[in-house]
Amino acid sequence: MKCISCQDLYDEDAAGTCKECYEEANETEEELKREIDELKAKVAFLKFWSPTPSARSHPASFSDVVLVASEDTSAGAPVAVPAHKAVLVSRSPVFRAMLENEMEESLSGTIKIGDVSYDALRTFVNYLYTAEVCLDEDMACDLLILAEKYQVQHLKDYCEKFLVSKLNWDNSVMNYTFAHQHNAKHIIDAALTLITDNMDKLTTREEYVELVEKDPRLVVEIYEAYLSKQVNTAAQKDSSRKT
């Protein structure tokens, strides 16, 4: 019998397609499901916040606002990044708390963002409007920090995926440390796997020496993960020999 996809002959007991085409179709289906899930998450992120009854009674509180980066000291006064309160409160529970209550930021119309450059802040605000960004590793780190600080989970997940895709042995210890500082679990897990796969080279790295001095707790975690992997590997080998 011929496969309806590739027209090659295949086992008549199969149903319509050969094994290769069937597996390829399954992979395509899984990829489409992932893309659909990502689009659904993006749509959900871009939906406007639904105002509460108390917010409806004070529509003037959602006028325009500006954000200012504290690190931007070039050419005198820092350049403000304009935004709309309605967008900010839709994307971030932290901004919502600032702007729905009579905090300084709500009253003044200016939100000062500490420890961030103008470029990173402008990119961050643009993402809140579009859910799109062009990343390099430095910008991904800056945005991940902002996303964690202001609880923009959609952006944090995006930055984590990007940084995981850029992981290699040379940057694994640095990223592992960074991820712990900012609760980036996907990066922690991926970096830890790389590190424990290369334990024989770990102690020669400058980043490792610095980590021992600055945060020995993380060094202990690395060795615990390595020992656990060794135990699991030994158990699997023992099980395979028995079978």
- Cα separations (Å) of 91 from 17, 42, 121, 138? 46, 11, 15, 23
Q: What pLDDT tens digit does each residue of the chain (243 aa) get?
A: 556 566 566 565 555 666 666 667 667 878 888 888 888 888 878 775 444 444 333 343 444 789 999 765 555 667 888 898 889 999 999 999 988 887 887 788 889 998 899 999 999 999 999 899 999 999 999 999 999 999 999 999 999 999 999 999 999 999 999 999 999 999 999 999 999 999 999 988 899 999 999 999 999 999 999 999 888 877 777 677 776
Q: What is the pLDDT of residue 5?
A: 60
Closest CA to 70 of 137, 146, 1: 146
Closest CA to 113 of 141, 89, 94, 136: 94
Closest CA to 46 of 82, 80, 86, 105: 86
Q: What 3 state SS string does the chain have? A: CECCCCCCECCCCCCCCCHHHHHHHHHHHHHHHHHHHHHHHHHHHHCCCCCCHHHHCCHHHHCEEEEEECCCCCCCCCCEEEEEHHHHHHHCHHHHHHHHCCCHHHHHCEEEECCCCHHHHHHHHHHHHHCCCCCCHHHHHHHHHHHHHCCCHHHHHHHHHHHHHCCCHHHHHHHHHHHHHCCCHHHHHHHHHHHHHCHHHHCCCHHHHHHHHHCHHHHHHHHHHHHHHHHHHHHHHHHHHHC
Q: Which fold has domain 57-157?
A: Potassium Channel Kv1.1; Chain A (3.30.710)
Q: What is the pLDDT of residue 153?
A: 95
Rounded to whole angstroms, how far apart are CA atoms 146 and 116?
8
Q: Let me know how long the chain is.
A: 243
Q: Which fold has domain 167-243?
A: 1.25.40
Q: What is the pLDDT of residue 13?
A: 54
Angle between helices 137-149 and 153-165 (to 10 degrees): 150
Q: What is the pLDDT of residue 222?
A: 94
Map out the domains of the chain as residue ranges. 1-45, 57-157, 167-243
Other Cβ atoms less than 10 A from the Cβ of 218: the count is 17
Q: What is the pLDDT of residue 144?
A: 98
Q: Scan for tokens 């910008």, then name that residue.
A: 139
Q: What is the pLDDT of residue 62?
A: 46
Rounded to whole angstroms, how far apart are CA atoms 117 and 78?
10
Cβ neighbours of residue 191 closer than 8 Å, sequence gap 6 or more: 167, 172, 173, 175, 176, 179
Sign of CA dihedral 105, 131, 34, 149: negative
Does this model's pTM top 0.85? My answer is no
Q: What is the pLDDT of residue 182?
A: 96
